[in-house]
């Protein structure tokens, strides 16, 4: 599947400035055998926040980081040994809020298709999933939940190659796909969770 990354490059993303913490993640786009893929990490089971969940490489902003791009690249280097010089930044997506009171900035970059090395203290596995699988309607579902602070929220689930991407990462994937492909999150709700 072809991606229109120029739409990300030209986009003026929405910034969130009123959360307690700032963070950034790298949304790594890989061209593998002529098809676009996204690189994810599966978080280590011993981590205090979101253990075992699929995520993008990233983490909290540090005072030494000049901006969100630098945070995302530094964290990707720490988590998967991506050299910052090997990432070609395309642009940013809208910031998102997390239940852990972070404003997260997704930074989209093209990265080489090579073997990456997980930092075992944070990353259990590095997973590369095809965009064609993410946009397949048979692999997607969502549900509404009532959140105590944010009210009614939608949780997106992408089930591809035995992995499930959801939560904050699922919201980032929705924004990425809606900006770079013709895919749109369906209007109907598949199931409700009380």
Please report which residue ranges of the chain form alpha helices under DSSP H: 6-9, 68-80, 131-134, 167-180
Angle at 103 between CA 101 and CA 108, to 5 degrees: 145
Confidence (pLDDT) at 106: 98
Cβ–Cβ < 8 Å for 102, 19: yes
Q: Which residues pair with 104 in a beta bridge?
A: 23, 96
* Segments in the chain below pLDDT 70: 45-52, 147-150, 187-194
Render pLDDT for 110-133 as a digit per residue (tens, 0 to 9). Answer: 999 999 999 988 899 999 999 999
Cα–Cα nearest to 88, from 171, 156, 30, 46:
30
What own/partner pairs with CB < 8 Å and gap ≥ 24 does 13-16 have? Answer: 13/91, 13/92, 13/93, 13/94, 13/95, 13/105, 14/94, 14/95, 15/95, 15/103, 15/105, 16/95, 16/96, 16/97, 16/103
Confidence (pLDDT) at 153: 79
pTM for the full model? 0.91
**3-state SS, residue 153:** strand
Confidence (pLDDT) at 1: 73
Confidence (pLDDT) at 190: 45
Confidence (pLDDT) at 52: 64
């Amino acid at each position: 599947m072809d991606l229109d990354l120029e739409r990300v490059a030209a986009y003026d993303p929405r910034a969130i400035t009123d959360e307690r913490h700032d963070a950034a993640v790298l949304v790594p786009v890989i061209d593998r055998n002529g098809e676009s893929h996204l690189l994810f990490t599966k978080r280590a089971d011993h981590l205090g926040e979101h253990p075992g969940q699929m995520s993008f490489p990233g983490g909290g902003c540090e005072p030494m980081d000049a901006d969100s791009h630098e945070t995302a690249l530094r964290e990707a280097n720490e988590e998967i040994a991506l050299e910052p010089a090997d990432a070609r930044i395309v642009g940013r997506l809208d910031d998102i809020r997390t239940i852990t009171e972070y404003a997260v900035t997704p930074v989209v970059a093209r990265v080489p298709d090579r073997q990456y090395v997980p930092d075992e203290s944070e990353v259990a596995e590095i997973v590369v999933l095809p965009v064609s699988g993410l946009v397949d309607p048979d692999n997607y579902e969502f549900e509404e939940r009532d959140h105590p602070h944010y009210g009614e929220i939608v949780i997106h689930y992408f089930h591809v190659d035995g992995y499930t991407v959801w939560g904050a990462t699922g919201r980032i994937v929705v924004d990425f796909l809606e900006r770079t492909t013709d895919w749109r999150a369906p209007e109907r709700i598949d199931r409700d969770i009380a």
